[in-house]
Amino acid sequence: MRSADPLRARDPRASAHAIVLIMGVSTVVLALLTTFGPNSVSSATRAASWAGVAVLVTTIALCRLVPAERVDRAGGFVLIGLAGVLLICVLNVATDDPSAGAQAFLAFPVLWAASHLRWAAVALVTAAAVVGNGITQVLLQPLEPAMHDQLVIGTVLVVAAVILGRAASVQDRLVAALQQQADVDPLTGLVTRRVLDDALTGALERDPTGDGTALVLLDIDSFKQINDAHGHPVGDDALVHLSDLVRRQVRAGDAVVGRLGGDELALLLPGCAAETAARRARELVEAVRAAPLPRADGGALPLSISVGVAHAPLHAASVRELYAAADAALYQAKRAGRDRVEVAVSPVPRPADGLPRQRSAP
């Protein structure tokens, strides 16, 4: 069984840690009240309270033993919040305790839900707490004081849930913005090196077609001269122009295009034979050659690229080896006169530190 997304946790692991802490504190408090406090006045209240302790301990054990993501997928966290509300209401009735202190325990599941669950789940747990407390107070008190307590406690629970829920939503947006910055290059809109590395690692592990995985590295020829002669804004325009050209040359879902840094871009082609990758690299060279950069003054700036192609398992077996092989091929394209494609030679010796060589712009 899978719950709908609105009932899922924002962060399953954080939700699990928080609920275990809250239930642990509640267990200790309930045990103390049962041993020394008002819950020890009769055998019935003691039995009900110790049953509540057993439920809490069992839930804690389940949260520690079952992976948080699995609990979340099954809708377990919202069920824990609702079960917490039910347990508190049942204990208040069983111990005949309508006091503000007993009602205050309803803040635990509501505040936890508001901090860790999505809005639909927060609304569900909060509504259950308000309704459950109203029913409990009517059963335990005359109508007038019951309605007074319900108004006060219900207002506090709803306001607290809204404030915490909004704060959690703001935090989610900030985290999403930071994630976007980490995943997407702000200038070109291409993915960053981190995303490309993850995709490359996954492609090498899966390789579903058996054709292997190709990595294409390319950069703009004489990029430093472009910056020096025309200014860095034109250099930025050239990078954006090249990124758009590369994106137009690939199909959605067919490749991953990323910026490694400076003027160097990478094209990951999963399930692509070496010959096909080399052909597509040559098409890129021709496309860039045929599409000069439009200038603000109405002119056009000719561009060309050098490209290095490497293939796994033909030229390399690991992520580092594939980068090193493609980088060496790109070096060779530069040395051979630029505006061309070179394919890696197999095998490529690994540097002493196992990392691709760093190079400056030629």
> Do the Cβ atoms of 23 and 59 come closer than 8 Å?
yes
For residue 107, the one-letter residue type is A
- In this prediction, residue 354 carries a pLDDT of 46
| 139 in the same domain as 205 | no
- In this prediction, residue 179 carries a pLDDT of 67
| 312 in the same domain as 265 | yes
* 289: in domain: yes
* Distance in angstroms (rounded) separating the CA atoms of residues 283 and 6: 46
> Do the Cβ atoms of 220 and 361 come closer than 8 Å?
no
| 197 in the same domain as 155 | no
Burial bucket for residue 233 (CB in 10 Å: 0-12, 13-18, 19+): exposed
* Distance in angstroms (rounded) separating the CA atoms of residues 53 and 56: 5
| 199 in the same domain as 170 | no
The whole domain housing 280 covers 193-343
Pairing of strands 341-343, 305-312: parallel
| 62 in the same domain as 83 | yes
* Distance in angstroms (rounded) separating the CA atoms of residues 190 and 322: 20
Burial bucket for residue 360 (CB in 10 Å: 0-12, 13-18, 19+): exposed
| 162 in the same domain as 15 | yes
* 203: in domain: yes
> Do the Cβ atoms of 315 and 322 come closer than 8 Å?
yes
Burial bucket for residue 186 (CB in 10 Å: 0-12, 13-18, 19+): exposed
The position carrying tokens 């309930």 is 30
Tokens of 199: 């995709």
- In this prediction, residue 252 carries a pLDDT of 65
| 294 in the same domain as 276 | yes
* 84: in domain: yes
> Do the Cβ atoms of 200 and 312 come closer than 8 Å?
no
> Hey, which residues does 184 pair with through a beta bridge?
191
> Hey, which residues does 301 pair with through a beta bridge?
293
Burial bucket for residue 127 (CB in 10 Å: 0-12, 13-18, 19+): middle
* 350: in domain: no
For residue 255, the one-letter residue type is A
Domain limit, last residue, from 165, 183, 201: 183
* 351: in domain: no
Q: Count how many domains the chain has.
A: 2
* Distance in angstroms (rounded) separating the CA atoms of residues 291 and 297: 17
> Do the Cβ atoms of 133 and 102 come closer than 8 Å?
no
> Do the Cβ atoms of 142 and 32 come closer than 8 Å?
no
The total of other beta-carbon atoms located within 10 Å of residue 56's CB is: 21
| 230 in the same domain as 95 | no
| 204 in the same domain as 297 | yes
Q: Which residues are CB-contacts of 134 (< 8 A; sequence separation ≥ 6)?
A: 146, 150, 154
- In this prediction, residue 206 carries a pLDDT of 77
- In this prediction, residue 209 carries a pLDDT of 55
* 118: in domain: yes
- In this prediction, residue 1 carries a pLDDT of 45
| 197 in the same domain as 174 | no
* 353: in domain: no
| CATH for 213 | 3.30.70.270
Kindly give the parts of the chain with pLDDT less than 50.
Answer: 1-3, 348, 350-362
The position carrying tokens 């009769």 is 42
As a whole number of Å, the end-to-end CA separation of the chain is 58
- In this prediction, residue 356 carries a pLDDT of 47
| 39 in the same domain as 83 | yes
* 315: in domain: yes
- In this prediction, residue 347 carries a pLDDT of 63
- In this prediction, residue 299 carries a pLDDT of 87
| 244 in the same domain as 172 | no
